[in-house]
Chains A and B, each alone.
Chain A
Amino acid sequence: MKTALYENHVRLDAQLVDFAGWQMPMRYSSTIDEHHAVRKHVGMFDVSHMLTVDFEGPQSTLFLRKLLASDVNKLSKDGQALYTVMLNERGGIIDDLIVYRLHETSFRIVFNAGVADTDLEWVTSWQQTTAYSVSITPRRDLSIIAVQGPNALQTVVELLDCPQLISVQPFTAILHNELFIGRTGYTGEDGVEIVCPNADAPKFWNRLLDAGALPCGLGARDTLRLEAGMNLNGQDMTPDHTPYECALSWVLDLEPSRDFVGQTALEETNRHGIATKLTGIVLQGGVMRSGYEVQSNAGLGTITSGSFSPTLGYSIALARIPRTSTGECSVLIRNKHKAGRIVRPPFVRHGEKVHK
């Protein structure tokens, strides 16, 4: 499949890769240059492979309170957003997502590309089960461009002549003409994610390009989110792991009256105690990769995401290890044990090292 920006990527001579069935840019020039552009200036990403879905109807709030682990009732104003997860009945993570309140009875959710079909089937089947009055509309007619970096807001404000964007709080979206602009992202920098009609996307991309936003591929997206300590669905979280095992217990709203999907299983899990945690590891003299074995003071674990941190100049990783693990550890890299250290993510914030 191709996004509306496919031809733009080809013209920019991107290295294209298959990602969840989509032809997406891995990089345009150098992943490290693209990474630094986002940390220091402004970069942009085509994330149109993610699926925007609108929920509308008198019972849309009731429906999403049932389906999401956070409480959408906490969104008191139009445009407000929150990061949360959608769980299966075992409390395992189907997807992590951002939900925006559009109006009192309508919400917008953006699903990850890899599980978009699964998610859509899941919400559709729950709509049938609950018979709540809510319509579910997948919006493949929309593209998403993420503009990220310390200069991102200024760039978009000037380009769109949209000064009100400056005062938009993080995790809030506004409508500007045909554009839906949310102050959100997946890089640990300030920035926006802009949803626009597919027909307008190629031109808008080129205008951003002319305004100085460097096109960035999935390679930089991965190193940026990893430095920011953000999970990748399918890798750091799976349907077999609860939010407790994914460093995401903070998103849970376990108010007993809510009865959201997975809540009972989570309470049960909590009573039995949780054996593992998702945390960070730093290591010099090699590069950690997903699947590598970790030996900690409290037993064995596994790297779930690993790469090289362009900001720090050494390898960083997220790992699922025994809950009580701390301090030094050893990572098995191609049959050699390399010394690493367990740290609490994030690794980088606003371009600076933050892990101890």
Chain B
Amino acid sequence: MSETPQELRYTDTHEWARTEPDGTVCVGISDFAQDALGDVVFIELPETGTEVAAGAEVAVIESVKAASDIYSPVSGEIVRVNDQLTDAPDLVNSEPYEGGWIFVVQPLSDDPNADLLTADQYQEFCETDSNEH
């Protein structure tokens, strides 16, 4: 059973979002997603300073099996990326919610979580999603 920390928010494209004390939003992919993808072997990171809209393709994760797009959960500007993933992309598998974070967005909105799923909603979504497959 995959982990879905309660304090995070989620998207229906399997990203998680954590609002930091400074108001920025840290983004990664869920435990459910990393398990479905399998071994992550390469990550194409966005450039800092890029303006992104919620739902826009921001990064690409390559597993052994396939390439998957990563979408920004919120609109704003990319202010940090996790350079560690260049040499250790497998952090996405081993620590999806910690060392495997992918990028940080300075959100435009004061309430970036407004349109995101809670942990319970996301879990329910995953159960439906996996039953369909």
Listed in ascending order, the chain A residues whose CB lies under 8 Å from chain B are 15, 26-27, 30-32, 219, 223, 285-287, 289, 307-308, 310, 315, 334
Contact = CB atoms under 8 A, between A and B. Distances in A.
Q: Label chain A's interface by main secondary structure.
A: mixed
B67 interface: yes
B119 interface: no
A32 B64 contact: yes
Contact of A308 (B42, B44, B60, B93): B42
Interface of B: 38-39, 41-42, 44, 60, 62, 64-67, 93
Nearest to A223: B64
B132 to A, nearest CB: 14
A30 B41 contact: no
Most buried by A among B38, B44, B66: B38
Contacts of B65: 26, 31, 219
B44 A286 contact: yes
Instruction: Please list the 7 inter-chain residue pairs (A to B) with the smallest Cβ-Cβ separation, ordered nearest first.
Output: A287-B62, A308-B41, A32-B39, A31-B64, A30-B39, A308-B64, A287-B42
B38 A219 contact: yes
A307 B42 CA distance: 11
A289 B39 CA distance: 16
Given A27-B38, A30-B39, A219-B38, A289 B67 contact: yes
A50 B65 CA distance: 22
Nearest to B41: A308
Given A30-B38, A31-B38, A310-B64, 17 more contacts: A26-B38, A27-B38, A30-B39, A30-B93, A32-B39, A32-B64, A219-B38, A219-B65, A223-B64, A286-B62, A287-B42, A287-B62, A289-B67, A308-B41, A308-B62, A315-B42, A334-B67
Most buried by A among B60, B64, B93: B64
Nearest to A315: B42
Contacts of B67: 287, 289, 334
A354 B42 CA distance: 23
Contacts of B42: 285-287, 308, 315
Contacts of B41: 32, 287, 308
A31 B38 CA distance: 7
Contacts of B39: 30-32
